Structure 1
């Protein structure tokens, strides 16, 4: 299977599309800081790459490429070794630390999970099921 913009496996690699919609009430400076911080958190994981999705568009009022990166990011990582689980945990923690109304969608091979405004327990159960589907665990 060829890896594409919506995720997939190629050569033992997993391509995950992250669509991150920040709280629409954030000002442009806060959005820029948020984009840099989240991208840095993801880059600290054992991922192959974190790059903007080609064709992504910046949210209204956003400045610079970081806003584009935040809007749609493709993360390439090993399909084994727990890196995917670490990525999902990073996103889960990021959502939990913020009181803002952010939304995160993860897409692999056309299978999408959207996280927002769920209780911690609901979010955990949804994420755990999604991880099991894509790790065989």
Structure 2
């Protein structure tokens, strides 16, 4: 089996573009992986919110998707995650770095000090639960 590295970055911000700004090690790793064509899979768990900012209010001007291919995956669907990971694994070995963005929903707040209700309504959370998101 070919050697491959899987990097998991739990994105508690809005999306990868925010992580790139916040975590310099991620940005450097991301850029070098593409430059050297390293077979690596980056995984971003995108819950749609930062500490108190929704994805609708965030800037995406630092996106890196022009350089490293990415795949959006419904992170609430286990089978979708499995299939995306399998196909990504094969592609990374042949073509180099790739990003998997798992779109999930965060039912609770960001931390113990964040109840998660100051920037979204209880109705939104209940609606997500009812939909099975």
TM-score, with structure 1 as normaliser: 0.30
TM-score, with structure 2 as normaliser: 0.31
Highest CA radius of gyration, 1 or 2?
2
Of Structure 1 and Structure 2, which has the larger fraction of its residues in strand? 1
